[in-house]
């Protein structure tokens, strides 16, 4: 489970390209393929098979307010029968063995907010073809949630690590510093209250992170990955003769994407009451381009 992406990428000998929003101040004289994220709490809430889903009995959920996100992998797929890794792989984030097993290196992650450029790749370097699907492996989420404690509502910032395995040195939420210095499997999270001295962290159960894949019956993803799959409204066609940028926007469903087990059946997240985080997976991907 922990090594799926490096194995298939190295086996195929695929090269990839990476250019973060940090390069936006550079002048590109040639047309680019530009990748951006946006977050939509009103987008349909899907399950692992890309089907509409409601919150499970005994659970509650809320739509968090997203601040930023990062991804580990990006691929354009021609059709529903293209196996993961057999499409055009455009990005594969840095990894490390520092924590033992191979893991995403969070110290080198590109983290962006809504509308910021995550990737910018010369179109001449993208394989020509007609692409029906996008596959993106999400690795990190930063968002605000509501917490109830002693009948008082608070706002907290939560950092969620949903990649297959992530090596983290330290990470910080406000004045709260979390010294990890270890690998963390999918589902590690930490939160800190705004303006109050309270912070905590935990681990969601193995296999509980939702990863919508509407083509699961023809092109499955490995267990423990976070490769979310979305279909373009019409195929993205790369001809190699483009004269203008193509901007691909990945709209992610945050519709009740933060989910927990209820102890007090009030629909409020109460960690001090023993309510455990169950799911932090994105609830759907709708890609578009212009």
pLDDT (average), residues 112-141: 97
Q: φ and ψ at 92, to 5 degrees?
A: -150, 115
Predicted pLDDT of residue 29? 80
In this structure, is the dihedral angle defined by the CA atoms of residues 35, 39, 40 and 44, taken in order, positive or negative? positive
Domain extent listing, the chain: 36-289
pLDDT of 7 > 80? The answer is no
pLDDT of 21 > 60? The answer is no
Model confidence at 262, in pLDDT bands (50, 70, 90)?
very high
Predicted pLDDT of residue 253? 98
- pLDDT tens digits, 45-100: 999 999 999 999 999 999 999 999 999 999 999 999 999 999 999 999 999 999 99
pLDDT (average), residues 123-151: 96
User: What residue ranges in 83-128 does DSSP mark as E strands?
Assistant: 88-92, 95-96, 103-105, 117-122
- pLDDT tens digits, 199-225: 999 999 999 999 999 999 999 999 889
HEC states along 129-191?
Answer: EEEEEEEEEEEEEEEEEEEEECCEEEEEEEEEECCCEEEEEEEEECCEEEEEEEEEECCEEEE
Predicted pLDDT of residue 114? 97
Please state whether the predicted TM-score (pTM) of the whole model is above 0.85. yes
Cβ atoms of 251 and 46 within 8 Å: the answer is no
CA 62/CA 255 separation, integer angstroms: 7
Helix ranges (H only) for 13-163 are none
pLDDT (average), residues 273-290: 97
pLDDT (average), residues 107-115: 97
């Amino acid at each position: 489970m922990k090594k799926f992406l490096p194995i298939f990428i190295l086996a195929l000998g695929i090269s990839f390209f990476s250019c973060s929003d940090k390069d936006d101040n550079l002048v590109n004289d040639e047309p680019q393929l530009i990748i951006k994220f946006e977050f939509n709490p009103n987008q349909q809430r899907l399950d692992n098979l890309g089907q509409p889903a409601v919150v499970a009995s005994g659970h509650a959920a809320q739509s968090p307010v997203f601040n930023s996100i990062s991804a580990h992998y990006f691929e354009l797929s021609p059709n529903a029968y293209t196996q993961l890794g057999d499409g055009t792989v455009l990005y594969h984030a840095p990894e490390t063995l520092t924590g033992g097993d191979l893991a995403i290196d969070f110290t080198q992650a590109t983290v962006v907010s809504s509308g910021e450029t995550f990737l910018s790749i010369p179109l001449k370097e993208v394989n020509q073809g007609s692409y029906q699907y996008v596959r993106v492996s999400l690795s990190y989420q930063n968002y605000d949630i509501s917490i109830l404690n002693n009948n008082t509502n608070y706002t907290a910032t939560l950092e969620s690590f949903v990649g297959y395995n992530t090596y983290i040195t330290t990470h910080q939420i406000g004045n709260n510093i979390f010294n990890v210095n270890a690998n963390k499997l999918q589902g590690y999270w930490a939160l800190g209250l705004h303006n109050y001295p309270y912070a905590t962290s935990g681990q969601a159960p193995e296999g509980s992170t939702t990863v919508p894949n509407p083509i699961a019956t023809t092109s499955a993803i490995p267990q423990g990955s976070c490769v979310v799959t979305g279909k373009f409204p019409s195929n993205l066609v790369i001809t190699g003769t483009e004269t203008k940028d193509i901007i691909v926007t990945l709209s992610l469903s945050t519709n009740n994407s933060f989910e927990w087990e209820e102890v007090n059946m009030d629909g409020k997240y109460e960690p001090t009451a023993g309510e455990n985080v169950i799911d932090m997976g994105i609830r759907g991907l709708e890609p578009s381009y212009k």
